Amino acid sequence: MDYLINFLLLGLLYFLYFYKRWKKATKQEFFLKTFMYLYIVMVLFVTIMPFHPPTGAMNRIILNEGNLTPFRDLRMHYNGAVRGIFLNILMMMPFGFMYPLVKKRGVLSTIIMSFLFSLAIEGSQLLSAWWGSPTSRIFDVTDLITNTFGGFVGYVGYLFFRPIRKVLNNRMQI
């Protein structure tokens, strides 16, 4: 039920705010922005949903809820560490690919926005642990690094796709 409420709120946000702003754009821009919104919603689904308001019970040992040592899990040979790194990179590749399409920005801006998006997710996970959310997750600095790298890899994919996109746009205009 919590997920349903979260998706309804995100859908309401889309239709009351973003749809009104984006429907004035070209069909291609509208599709790209809507697709990126849906992608972000799915990332939120796998990283921080369901959203829970603070319960009033504060976790006094919040720093024990996070990993501040880069690649600690990998160095300690924890089961699933390589898989987690791979999945974080894969999760953020679409962001690095779509962000320059939507915002017409370069590599540095894409890397910074990938980092900020990841920081928002990790910060939300840290806050949910602090306020005693029943579905709190663990803050991990490795996730910040691998998510940001995933955004960069997505941008590299965008660079490879850009010449193909120009050819396709030129053919569609003929």
Are 46 and 131 a contacting pair, CB within 8 Å? no
Model pLDDT for residues 52-89, shown as the tens digit of each residue: 766 666 655 555 667 889 999 999 999 999 999 999 99
Of 119, 124, 162, whose CA–CA distance to 143 is shortest? 119
Model pLDDT for residues 91-108, shown as the tens digit of each residue: 999 999 999 999 999 999
Which bin fits 80, alpha (ψ -120 to 50), beta or left (φ > 0)?
left
